[in-house]
Structure 1
């Protein structure tokens, strides 16, 4: 193990064997995490109404416990322990799994022969093995990891093409998370943690992952709708074993009840439609 001091935040960081300082500092999820955290800690001092203003918490140290390499060389996942305490010695939970952001895609298909004002909509879901969940058949909204500092909308379009077989221009994708207009200020005008991304955080108690949800709606021939269910897709060379499932939009909340992305998409889609934004 080795220890160095972060060049920007003067925080001591301990690394396990096999992981270099350069690899860590070039890992975008780590850079994003420590920057966001330090900015959030700074709000304690700036905002006199902050609940921790009188005795602010400080990031004292970071210990990287383990890491995974993608392709044997690119840093992919990181497990670390952050020591965050105040002057009284009170500690905040700091066990962190870093994997970076992902994108989720709500793809809605409407039969071409349906009326203009139809409520007949279908959503494409994926069914695939998810070993961390202990299942070989997890039903969920299509999603994919964002590579390093890649573009979210570009990643969404790429994942739709790889998993669903649809080639969609990025200009035709709508980001429901952005359209929701999340604000860094609360109703009383006080500054909140505006450093967080406009996205859904599925497991903020232990993981940095956040997921903006994109949407695309298109009309297709009714005869082709039946072709979607059971179609095998995914990049086999990446270990993806994906089959598709087509369901009615009105059933998404039930079919995707185990999938945070599906539930978030339903809430955003219905609320934006109710406000006349879709």
Structure 2
């Protein structure tokens, strides 16, 4: 196992066989995680109100345990997933859990379809008996969840050179067959974050706003860096088209995807998508923003 030193701060990094320093440092999820962690650690010293101010924690070392490469052609393969252990401890020798799975950000899409013969509801107002709002879910194999038919919101990973909105528009096109310009998507996560004001009076309280975390949902913050901003799109379609879409087979066959669409009523989304954290988060954001009159 090879070792090299990161600079500013000086941290030893151990590498497994087959992973070079250059490839690791070109992996944006690693760089983003390290930058954000170092910023969060710096808040301990800069604010006397920080709970760890008297005995701050520090990053002592990083051990890369394993990695996965993406891409069929060996010469075009790129780093995809990374498993590491970060040693973070304070002066008293107390350690924080540091097992980390790095995969980078994803996007999720709440796509709502309404028959075009239904009268629109005023912005910010609920219409009793709103029965004709449907949400598009996908049903597909998810081997990590030991499932061949996992029900979830459409979602996808973000490429290093892509925007979140652009990635969301691409996933909608690939999984749902809908052409939606990125500019027509609305980010529920950003809209919710607009109502949160960071507390600047104490110079950094150590919460997510002070730490510069993205406005996104973290499905498993205890072990993974993945964060998912949630976008929405609402479209009016002919009523007959809703029936045609149910059970439609879609997906990227070259990538091994086998996706079936499932349309559910908005009122049933909490139950139909109850296993999917993205789905429950999207529903909570949508309902909260509606209550505040922002949708």
TM-score (norm 1): 0.97
1:96 aligns with 2:109: no
> Structure 1 pair 199/105, CA: closer, same or farther in 2 (3 Å)?
same
1:191-270 correspondence to structure 2 within 5 Å: 191=205, 192-194=207-209, 195-270=212-287
Alignment of 1:32 onto 2:47: no
Q: 1:17 corresponds to which residue?
A: 17
Partner of residue 135, structure 1: 147
Question: Residue 86 of structure 1: which of 63, 87, 90 is its match?
Answer: 90
Secondary structure of 1:268's counterpart equals helix
Q: Does 1:185 align with 2:198?
A: yes
Residue 106 in 1 paired to residue 123 in 2? no
Could you report, residue by residue, the CA deviation over 1:127-158 in whole angstroms, capped at 9, with x for unpaired residues? 00000000001000000000124200000000
1:176–1:215 Cα contact (<8 Å) kept: yes
Provide the rounded CA distance (Å) in 2 between the counterparts of 1:132 and 1:9. 35
Moved more, 143-152 or 82-91: 143-152
The separation in 2 between residues aligned to 1:96 and 1:131, in whole angstroms, is 20
Runs ≥4 residues deviating over 4 A:
186-190
Distance 2:138 2:107 in 1: 14
Match of 1:4 in 2: 4
* Equivalent-residue separation in structure 2 for 1:187 and 1:149 (angstroms): 33
Would you say how many aligned residue pairs link Structure 1 and Structure 2? 278
User: Could you say if the C-alpha distance between residues 111 and 271 of structure 1 is closer, same or farther in structure 2, counting changes exceeding 3 Å?
Assistant: same
Equivalent pair of 1:28/1:149 in contact (CA under 8 Å) = no
SS in 2 for 1:132: helix
Cα displacement (A) at 1:7 = 2.8
SS at 2:214's partner residue? coil
Give the direction of change, closer, same or farther, for the CA distance of 1:206–1:69 in structure 2 (3 Å limit). same
Cα deviation 1:3-38 (Å, max 9, x = unaligned): 001134311100000000000001000000000000
Q: Please, what is the CA RMSD of the aligned residues?
A: 1.4
State the alpha-carbon separation in 2 of the partners of residues 102 and 89 from structure 1.
Answer: 35
Q: Which structure 1 residue ranges, 5 or more long, are not aligned?
A: none
